[in-house]
């Protein structure tokens, strides 16, 4: 951490034993600070105002409000909070729904402690992390559209913008870097998502990396 402060993390899972294990994992890292725990999505939404986490580790299948619905609500109300899905499920539709809701990453619970810590740090910096199974789900979705050669219709400027998106930069920084207006950046991002058949920036970045679009 550049400023010496720890990343504030909230755990959301309906299984107490899972939360206990994740809590112990967080204690082992000086730069990760557990600030709240929730047993379902509704409780997670309610706790955000008080706990103000930087990153939320969010389960998907929970009572009252599932992870995707909670993610969508949290991202709408608190856009600076990043949500990292941590689940046992890898079905294509669940991956797509979670990323469409605004999650910055999608990991399975067989992830290693080192990989999970890295994913939390990446999420805090605005960089996505996807399990191989999640990436494959996005590829299946892209193939469903019958795309001839994915990304071939991206313009040079759109590739420039996409390269900065891959680095986790937001529209304001991209605009400053390319010396263009924020509205122009927004226009390019919209075109990129459309051409890659992506529903979010995270999905677009994952598709770009999987298909090596920036090396073409």
Q: Which residues of the chain have pLDDT under 70?
A: 1-4, 141-149, 216
Answer yes or no: same fold for 7-130 and 146-215.
no
Hey, what CATH topology would domain 7-130 get?
Rossmann fold (3.40.50)
* CA pair distance 74, 110, nearest whole angstrom: 25
Interval 39-55: pLDDT, tens: 999 999 999 999 999 99
Domain 146-215 has CATH 1.10.275.10: no
**For residue 91, how many other CB atoms are within 10 A of its CB?**
12
Considering the entire predicted model, what is its pTM? Answer: 0.68
All structural domains of the chain with their residue ranges: 7-130, 146-215
User: Token digits for 148?
Assistant: 């001839």
- Alpha-carbon distance of 135 to 207, in angstroms, equals 8
Q: What is the pLDDT of residue 147?
A: 46
pLDDT 10s digits, 200-213: 999 999 888 888 88
Q: What is the pLDDT of residue 135?
A: 81
Residues 63, 35: Cα–Cα separation, whole Å: 22
pLDDT computed for residue 4 by the predictor: 62
Q: pLDDT tens, 109-139? A: 999 999 999 999 999 999 899 998 888 777 7
């Amino acid at each position: 951490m550049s400023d010496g402060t720890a990343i504030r993390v909230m755990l959301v899972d309906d299984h107490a034993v899972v939360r206990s294990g994740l809590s112990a994992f967080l204690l082992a890292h000086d730069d990760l600070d557990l600030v709240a725990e929730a047993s379902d999505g509704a409780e997670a939404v309610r706790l955000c105002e008080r706990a103000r986490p930087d990153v939320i580790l969010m389960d998907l299948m929970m009572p009252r409000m599932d992870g995707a619905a909670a993610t969508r609500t949290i991202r709408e109300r608190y856009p600076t909070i990043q949500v990292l899905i941590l689940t046992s499920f890898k079905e294509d539709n669940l991956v797509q729904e979670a990323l469409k809701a605004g999650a910055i990453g999608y990991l399975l619970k067989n992830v290693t402690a080192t990989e999970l810590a890295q994913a939390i740090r990446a999420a805090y910096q605005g960089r996505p992390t996807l399990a191989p199974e999640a990436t494959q789900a996005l590829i299946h979705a892209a193939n469903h559209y019958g795309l001839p050669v994915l990304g071939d219709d991206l313009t040079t400027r759109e590739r420039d913008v996409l390269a900065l998106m891959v680095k986790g930069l937001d529209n304001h920084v991209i605009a400053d870097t390319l010396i263009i207006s924020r509205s122009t950046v927004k226009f390019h991002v919209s075109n990129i998502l459309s051409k890659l058949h992506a529903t979010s920036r995270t999905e677009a970045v994952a598709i770009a990396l999987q298909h090596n679009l920036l090396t073409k």
